[in-house]
Amino acid sequence: MSQPASDPSVPRPSRGKFRPPALGDVKVGGFFGPRIDTIATVTAKTLLDRCVEAGMLDQIDPDRPRPGVRIPFQEGNDKCTTQMFWDSDLAKSIETAAYALYWRRDPELEARVDEIIDAYGRLQAPDGYLNSWYLRVDTLPRWSNLRDCHELYDAGHLIEAAVAYFQATGKRKFIDIMMRYADHIASVFGTEPGKKRGYCGHPEIELALVRLARTTGERRFLDLARYFIDERGQSPHYYDVEAAARGDDPADYHFKTYEYSQSHVPVREQRTVVGHAVRAAYLYTAMADVATEFADESLEPALRSLWAHLTEKNLYVTGGFGPSPDNEGLTFDYDLPNDTAYQETCASVALVNWANRMLGLGPNARYTDILERTLYNGALVGLSLDGTRFFYDNPLESRGQHHRWIWHKCPCCPPNISRLVTSIGVYLYGVADDEIAVHLYCDSTADLKLAAGTVRIVETSRYPHDGHVSLRLQTVPAAPFTLSLRIPGWARSATISINGEAIDIAAVTENGYARIFRSWAVDDQVELDLPMPVETMHAAPEIGADQGRVALQRGPLVYCLEETDNGAKLNSVGLRAGGAFACEETDDLGGVVRIAADGWRDTPAEPGVLYSAAAPTRSATTLRAVPYYAWDNRAPGEMLVWIRQEGE
């Protein structure tokens, strides 16, 4: 007799703290495997090449001539230059390389990174300070302009890179350098007398210090992270004090409001997402980390409200956010234009991380559904299929002028999306002492460590192109544990069977996860079926530009029309309401499911006339849509996510 799938009479254990698996514990194949392989073999080197071409090594290596300022000052902000945050771009490139080394050992790539680390070692000041801009290019005093000048942000990304490189290679040099720098930072900032009560205009150091603490086990880095979180936005405002100390007028601030850096009020008082999108999500990520690490419930009202404000009023259907190029961020509720959508790739990467950290207190599809939407659409679109070109801003409609960059004057996005994809394994699972949560589905083999022992899960799936997921438990401990399978919000008729026996999903689902507690046996086979019909998504009426239009979605993937499949003038075609969809497997675009849809095309009654009292004529046609993440990988042309829909 088989054991009941999940026995409600057996009380499931209470949930503890969930942590991600180590990257080396999850071998990813399926959808992400080829993407990681491309980054490991192409993009990781490309990123380093471009950093070198931009002169970054000249900047950090104290044995080379000082490079001076090579890139013109940013328009309208004569205090900051594009090189000021180069350490961070190099750091994210190193982090990408570290994850690439998990995928495939590559002595040449490793040697290139070691050379950079050695240069940082030579550059580091005797007191531990380490910032190539301040040490090598500018003559401004250290820590004199936290509001604008990214010093602590640079430090944060270097710390993340050092942690990743240590985990990938076991080499301590970089992490030792960064621990010395972190200790130096702790000697400068804090509430103790004589210390500066500052915090960075661009959050990042906070989440990085949490990562450093988790890796090293050193509590002092957690305390420093919490200091930066707690101090942010307090009165008197540090950026006012700091500006006055420089002899500047605090009111003479390019971005006018401290909302730009989410320092307008203390973080626990924040309820709406404002300002620069990437800064916002980096800050909230760290707030979630601190809430988890210190079991600090006082941060939760802010985190919950910020999440609701973002996801209920300010998120694109692609999971990206921040519509405006002016502040690279938020404007006002429901301001979600399509053709001018900024929706920076980095903001999507940051939102994936914020959502991921919100899962620290337990699986909740409220966060994972957004994580998945953002990952597969707003984030993944940032990297070309061949791994050589990048999107910085991501409109949802293009009239044909928007294409990927080889590089960008602010090269933050290329290494950011690259480090996310190469480390995707850690996002798949959450592991507590006696529970495994499967957050995302992807063909993979994972060794996950419960208190009672390791579970090896071999997942077979073509997800997200197909909704069938097989999980085989190849290794299990003797003690029972909970396997929690996320049932995506878009999946309206999911089924689960264990060893061929269906289970009652509704009876075991909590917060969008089917929690199956039982004693598992070797080679237990769990089958999850997530039917993926094509859905037509309608936007809230407050989003004016999307009315009368739908976005096509299948599973977690948002689709778009491209000119190469549908001809030009994509606003002259539309979907027949109630029309049929066919899903076509294709090898194109790395292998995607293309949607063929009943549609129509309008032909103007008076061609060449700008405005005519005569209505266009309509004829039937078939429209073909491809996943949004894959657009602009073929012939350049128009693109459209929100498609007109009319008529039965």
Task: List residues near a copy of itself by CB under 8 A.
Answer: 75-76, 311-313, 315, 317, 332, 335, 337, 339-340, 397, 399, 401, 490, 535-545, 547-548, 551, 553, 569-572, 574, 577, 602, 604-605, 608-616, 644, 646-647
617, β-bridge pairs: 603
For residues 159 and 208, the answer to whether their CB atoms sit within 8 Å is yes
Beta bridge pairs of residue 550 = 643
The torsion region of residue 104 among left (phi > 0), alpha (psi -120 to 50) and beta comes to beta
Count CB neighbours of 588 within 10 A.
14
Q: Which residue lies nearer to a copy of itself by CB, 114 or 535?
A: 535
Residue with smaller CB distance to a copy of itself, 191 or 547: 547
Cβ count within 10 A of residue 172: 12
Least gap, CB of 623 to a copy of itself (angstroms): 14
Q: Which is nearer to a copy of itself, 162 or 315 (CB)?
A: 315
Element containing residue 454 per DSSP (H, E): strand 453-461
Residues 531, 494: Cα–Cα separation, whole Å: 7
Dihedral sign, CA of 23, 26, 29, 32?
negative
Q: Is 206 a catalytic residue?
A: no
To the nearest whole angstrom, how small is the minimum distance from the Cβ of residue 647 to a copy of itself? 7
**Shortest reach from residue 542's CB to a copy of itself, in Å:** 7
Helix (H) or strand (E) holding 152: helix 151-169
Q: Which is nearer to a copy of itself, 197 or 569 (CB)?
A: 569
Q: Are strands 501-502 and 468-475 parallel, antiparallel or unpaired?
A: unpaired
Report in angstroms how near the CB of residue 338 gets to a copy of itself at its nearest.
Answer: 9
Structure tokens at 635: 């012939």
- Provide the minimum distance between the beta carbon of 594 and a copy of itself in the complex, in angstroms, as a whole number: 20
**Residue in 127, 124, 126, 117 with CA at minimum distance from that of residue 90:** 117
Rounded to a whole number of angstroms, the minimum distance from the CB of residue 441 to a copy of itself is 20
Q: Please say which residue, 242 or 393, places its beta carbon nearer to a copy of itself.
A: 393
Which residue in 149, 200, 346, 412 is the catalytic one?
Answer: 412
* 355 touches 340 (CB < 8 A): no
* Beta carbon nearer to a copy of itself, 311 or 356: 311
- Report how far residue 97's alpha carbon sits from residue 95's, in angstroms, rounded to the nearest whole number: 5
Q: Which residue is associated with the tokens 């915090």?
A: 199
Through-space distance between the first and last CA atoms of the chain, rounded to whole angstroms: 52
Q: Evaluate whether 42 touches 389 at the Cβ level (below 8 Å).
A: no
- Active-site option among 328, 397, 459, 638: 328
Tell me whether residue 121 or residue 548 sits nearer to a copy of itself (CB atom): 548
| Whether residue 410 lies in the annotated active site | no
**Three-state secondary structure readout of 562-598:** EHHHHCCCHHHEEEECCCCEEEEEECHHHCEEEEEEE
Catalytic residues: 328, 412
